[in-house]
Amino acid sequence: MSDPEDRAQARLEPIFAPRSVAVVGTTRIPGTVPFDIFQNILKDNFQGTIYPVSPKERSIAGVKAYKYVLDIPDPVDLAVIVFPSSVVNLAMEQCGKKGIKGAIIISAGFREVGPAGVRREEEIKRIAASYGISFIGPNCLGVINTDPSVHLNASFARRMPKEGNIGFMSQSGALCTAVLDYAHAKNIGFSKFISFGNKADVSDIDLMMYLKDDPATKVILVYLEELTDGTRFVRAARRIIRETGKPVLVLKSGRTREGASAAASHTGSLAASDEVVDAALHQAGVIRCQTVEELFNNAIALAYQPLPKGRRVAIVTNAGGPGVLTTDAAIQEKLELARFSESTRETFRKSLPVTANIMNPVDVIGDARADRYRVALGSALDDDNVDGALVILTPQSMTDIDLIAEEVCNVANRSPKPTYTSFMGETDVASGIDILQRRNIPHYILPESMCRAFARANDFLRERDRPEIPPVHFQDVHPAVAQKILSAAAAAGRAYLTQSDAMAVLGAYGLPVLPGRLASSPEDAAVAATQIGFPVAMKVESDDIVHKFDIKGVLLDIVSPEQAKEAYRTIVANAHAAQPRANIRGVFVQQMAGRGEEVILGLKRDEAFGPVLMFGLGGIFVEIFRDVSFRLAPVPADMVRDMMHEVRSYGMLTGARGRTPRDTGALEVCLQRLSQLAVECPQISELDINPLIVRNEGEGCSVADARIHV
Amino acid sequence: MERSEIQHRVQKVVSSVLKIDSKEIAPQSNFVFDLGADSMKSVELIAGFEEEFNIEMDEDRAREVQTVAGAVDFIATYVQ
């Protein structure tokens, strides 16, 4: 139990399940945060004891008030501090002396307001640490625990949500209030509802780990504006999913590419921070959502229904058109229309009108009442060829909406398979939707959202149950060689490795570099080219020239010693002309890579996530379509394969449309070796292998060019 | 002006604005934490001091003053 993440439960117990709460700095003025928090705790029926602490008031809302927290005669578990930021330190000091171990600091005016606020935040952290106080905030909305034995609404939200099994935590307090309103309208309940603000002490990771062990929480929802410790975050999320099977859903704002413009390499500019976040969350098995609506569409599916074990859906509908729409949406999400067994079809034949469609979608016809839905849904769910059901209803004059809703709930709740619903419309179907929501049957306004949620739930199951395959660790590598080159470059203050050094580093990790050497004169170039064998490529070698092609510092397909001499002179002259002050060490002569598909492999060291690998096909696929994939290194062996398959242009390598299949096995090994290099050479900040030539099946790959930034 | 006189008159203003018995007002009393001044009362206190001492204080700096003794020191820089 050495990992601090494992101590979250005990550390946060005074905050989530206190027996007594002091609201420190409260007032008698309704409509203010200090009063409303006190009032919320009181009116929402907190099961423990509440103490108002106010410098001036003798009582608040009829409850005896204390001037100082130290004046309270009994022990206090939790302090909810609502004083202005300037005196929160004094309040914390007294809480410490009182022996309080948990606090929620609602007050704003800390890190978010600038240097003075940073100092105040550091001061309260110091005091909290000296007394062993764990605190949430500052600058937050507060915390809600719906557990009936606690029933704490220590927040200034307008309402307390109903009890449920979704744990929600948010960096934005304002979003919390909007979510509560949204959830209320959809009858969604929560186990814990947490606004964590500046996370000066208790972090988002601590809270996730608390929810991991919280028996009332089945699904964890997180809203983030920043991911400061990405590596720890994804490790914690992965652990939660692996150990408990609880889904973790993340809505992260700030999908900006601003960071990309400052990047030093191709990979750097492609690996904009948000794409790395995407890859990292995906790698951890986290379901990333783009909107609040998508977050809850997925959450209700995961929280209310069993996970679909497969992608074979039965669609039950009382109208043809919506059935087709749902079919389209299902196929789009890579779901399959289940093929019903003969016995299921026989049941349909016997129980449904002759005009009913007994294939999939099952059309129970516009005049269907509850009994037809019961038979169709029940039989479909009982069929071994079905992994889950999607129920569509359109409100026709004879449709008994409420009865059908009740019947759908009855049948769905008896089945070990999931049922999702879409009662299409708004006014007429409202009471039916209300029944579905109250009985925890996921309902979606649009069939498309329903199909997407079904697919995500099945994706989650597959990710959760994916066996842990470790990254491949190669023994035939020479880390000492790479380290020596990288140390020398650092000592010389070089930002980029020369071509020969870059090739040597890659070669040390077994990446297939082509034979080559540095030539120091036209004659030497001719000798080198002859030794290597024609045709050769020749590239200027200089610490000062990064973009060799741009200054015409590269010549290809040199086929004779004479051409090699001439090429040397041309390259050096071009380099001098473009950058007169560049220190030119010579020209790198290298075997030509030969024919094959060009791909790009890259590495970028991300501030939050550490080393990130990139893969894409060369040329327009990367430049125009940004058709690339990312994974955090070290990349497990199976995920290297996923990474390759993920790019849309991958078919170019596997023989699509009559193309020659390329050596994808060798490519996979290159990515695995690069993953090991990324982990073992932390000095490298960015690296491009561009291009790596992937030759025909069985013929391997070659590094044609590479750039390494240290 | 003597410091003791400033102290006496500051206490008088604080007692009047915050409606607290002046016996409860100690030099180390924090306006917010001990005496319960909210942001509105803080503005009233500054106005009260300016009127009492016939001075015009730098409002930003005045807002940073946290205790009664601090207010005495701050006002002293204007009246001496």
The 10s digit of each residue's pLDDT in A203-213 is 999 999 999 99
Nearest to A90 among B18, B30, B36 (CB): B30
Note the pLDDT of residue A667.
Answer: 96
Give the range among A45-54, A116-125, A591-600 with minimum mean pLDDT: A591-600
Does the distance separating the beta carbons of A83 and B33 come in below 8 Å?
A: yes
Name the phi and psi angles at A222, rounded to 5.
-130, 130
Chain B positions touching chain A (beta carbons under 8 Å): 18, 20, 30, 32-36, 38-39, 66
Q: Which structure tokens are listed for A6?
A: 């494992």
Among A422, A444, A464, give the residue marking a domain's end. Answer: A464
Does the distance separating the beta carbons of B36 and A90 come in below 8 Å?
A: no
A356: pLDDT confidence band, cut at 50, 70 and 90? confident
Answer yes or no: do A209 and A320 share one domain. no
Does the distance separating the beta carbons of A54 and B36 come in below 8 Å?
A: yes
Interface test with B, best of A54, A56, A67 (most B CBs within 10 A): A56
Query: Which amino acid, A34?
Result: P
Output the domain CATH number for residue A342: 3.40.50.261
Residue A594 lies inside a defined structural domain of this protein? no
Query: Which amino acid, A331?
Result: I
Does the distance separating the beta carbons of B36 and A83 come in below 8 Å?
A: no
Q: Considering chain A, what is the average pLDDT of its residues?
A: 92
With vertex at residue A523, the alpha carbon angle to CA A520 and CA A527, rounded to the nearest 5 degrees, is 95
Chain B residues close to A55, C-beta within 8 Å: 32-36
Does the distance separating the beta carbons of A86 and B35 come in below 8 Å?
A: no
DSSP, residue by residue, A224-284: ES--TTHHHHHHHHHHHHHHH---EEEEE-----GGGGG-SSHHHHHS-HHHHHHHHHHHH
Answer yes or no: do A73 and A205 share one domain. yes
Name the phi and psi angles at A607, rounded to 5.
-60, -45
Chain B residues close to A84, C-beta within 8 Å: 32, 39
A538: pLDDT confidence band, cut at 50, 70 and 90? very high
- Identify which of A333, A284, A316, A322 has the alpha carbon closest to the alpha carbon of residue A417: A316
Does the distance separating the beta carbons of B66 and A86 come in below 8 Å?
A: yes
How many Å apart are CA A426 and CA A168, to the nearest integer?
A: 28
Q: Is the pLDDT of residue B30 over 80?
A: yes
Sign of the C-alpha dihedral, residues A376, A378, A382, A387? positive
Does the distance separating the beta carbons of B38 and A55 come in below 8 Å?
A: no
Q: Count CA atoms closer than 13 A to B29's CA, side-chain side.
A: 25
Residues A158-169 have a mean pLDDT of 95
- Identify which of A624, A675, A672 has the alpha carbon closest to the alpha carbon of residue A649: A624
- Residue in chain A nearest B34 by alpha carbon: A55
Nearest to A55 among B33, B39, B66 (CB): B33
> CB neighbours of B40 closer than 8 A, spacing ≥ 6?
none
Answer yes or no: do A316 and A200 share one domain. no
Nearest to A84 among B18, B20, B32 (CB): B32
- Strand segments, DSSP code E, in A428-567 are 516-519, 536-542, 554-558
Q: What is the pLDDT of residues A266-288, one digit of tens each?
A: 455 555 578 888 899 999 999 99
Nearest to B33 among A27, A57, A91 (CB): A91
With vertex at residue A283, the alpha carbon angle to CA A282 and CA A288, rounded to the nearest 5 degrees, is 15
Output the domain CATH number for residue A63: 3.40.50.720
Q: What is the pLDDT of residues A410-456, one digit of tens each?
A: 999 999 999 999 999 999 999 999 999 999 999 999 999 999 999 99
Q: How far is B64 from chain A (nearest CA, A)?
A: 9
- Residue in chain B nearest A26 by alpha carbon: B36
Residue A228 lies inside a defined structural domain of this protein? no
How many Å apart are CA A388 and CA A377, to the nearest integer?
A: 10
Does the distance separating the beta carbons of A90 and B38 come in below 8 Å?
A: no
The DSSP symbol for A312 reads E
How many Å apart are CA A314 and CA A191, to the nearest integer?
A: 32
Strands A312-317 and A388-393, bridge-based pairing: parallel
Cis-peptide, bond into residue A361, ω within 30° of zero: yes
Q: What angle separates helix A499-508 from helix A479-491, to the nearest 10 degrees?
A: 150
A264: pLDDT confidence band, cut at 50, 70 and 90? very low
- Residue in chain A nearest B63 by alpha carbon: A86
Cis-peptide, bond into residue A691, ω within 30° of zero: yes
3-state SS class at B14: helix
Name the phi and psi angles at A670, rounded to 5.
-60, -45
Among A464, A484, A503, give the residue marking a domain's end. Answer: A464
Chain B residues close to A29, C-beta within 8 Å: 38
What is the number of structural domains in chain A?
2
Task: Residue A2: count other Cβ atoms within 10 Å of its Cβ.
Answer: 5
Does the distance separating the beta carbons of A56 and B32 come in below 8 Å?
A: no
CB A92 within 8 A of CB A103: yes
Residue A510 lies inside a defined structural domain of this protein? no
Residue A152 lies inside a defined structural domain of this protein? yes
Q: What distances in angstroms separate CA A512 from CA A403, A504, A534, A602, A666, one per listed residue?
A: 68, 10, 19, 15, 9
Q: Is the pLDDT of residue A15 over 80?
A: yes
Q: How far is A88 from chain B (nearest CA, A)?
A: 9
Nearest to B33 among A27, A57, A90 (CB): A90
Does the distance separating the beta carbons of A56 and B20 come in below 8 Å?
A: yes
Among A170, A199, A217, give the residue marking a domain's end. Answer: A217
Q: What is the pLDDT of residues A60-108, one digit of tens each?
A: 999 999 999 999 999 999 999 999 999 999 999 999 999 999 999 999 9
Answer yes or no: do A59 and A196 share one domain. yes
Q: Is the pLDDT of residue A666 over 90?
A: yes
Chain B residues close to A27, C-beta within 8 Å: 36, 38
Name the phi and psi angles at A529, rounded to 5.
-65, -40
Interface test with A, best of B25, B32, B40, B42 (most A CBs within 10 A): B32
Chain B residues close to A67, C-beta within 8 Å: 34
Q: What is the pLDDT of residues A474-515, one digit of tens each?
A: 999 999 999 999 999 999 888 889 888 999 999 999 999 999
Q: What distances in angstroms separate CA A412 from CA A371, A374, A390, A403, A418, one per listed residue?
A: 14, 9, 11, 14, 7
Structural domain boundaries enclosing A111? 10-217
How many Å apart are CA B65 and CA B43, to the nearest integer?
A: 12
pLDDT: is A233 or A228 the higher one?
A233
A262: pLDDT confidence band, cut at 50, 70 and 90? very low
Q: Is the pLDDT of residue A660 over 90?
A: no
Nearest to A27 among B20, B34, B38 (CB): B38
Q: Where are the domains of chain B?
A: 3-79
Instruction: Specify the residue for token string 């494992």.
Output: A6
Answer yes or no: do A309 and A438 share one domain. yes
Residues A623-636 have a mean pLDDT of 86
Chain A positions touching chain B (beta carbons under 8 Å): 27, 29, 54-57, 67, 83-84, 86-87, 90-91
Does the distance separating the beta carbons of A87 and B66 come in below 8 Å?
A: yes
How many Å apart are CA A19 and CA A621, to the nearest integer?
A: 60
Nearest to B32 among A57, A67, A86 (CB): A86
How many Å apart are CA A248 and CA A8, to the nearest integer?
A: 17
- Residue in chain B nearest A24 by alpha carbon: B33
Query: Which amino acid, A633?
Result: A
Interface test with B, best of A53, A87, A124 (most B CBs within 10 A): A87
- Strand segments, DSSP code E, in A618-678 are 628-632
How many Å apart are CA A252 and CA A424, to the nearest integer?
A: 30
Residues A182-203 have a mean pLDDT of 95
How many Å apart are CA A117 and CA A319, to the nearest integer?
A: 60
Does the distance separating the beta carbons of B30 and A57 come in below 8 Å?
A: no
How many Å apart are CA A312 and CA A338, to the nearest integer?
A: 5
Instruction: State in words which class domain B3-79 has.
Output: mainly alpha
Chain A residues close to B33, C-beta within 8 Å: 55, 83, 87, 90-91
Answer yes or no: do A170 and A33 share one domain. yes
The DSSP symbol for A629 reads E
Does the distance separating the beta carbons of A54 and B35 come in below 8 Å?
A: no
Residue A381 lies inside a defined structural domain of this protein? yes
Does the distance separating the beta carbons of A87 and B33 come in below 8 Å?
A: yes
Q: Is the pLDDT of residue A317 over 60?
A: yes
Does the distance separating the beta carbons of A86 and B36 come in below 8 Å?
A: no
Interface test with A, best of B20, B33, B60 (most A CBs within 10 A): B33
CA A284: distance to chain centroid?
A: 7
Residue A242 lies inside a defined structural domain of this protein? no
Residue A137 lies inside a defined structural domain of this protein? yes
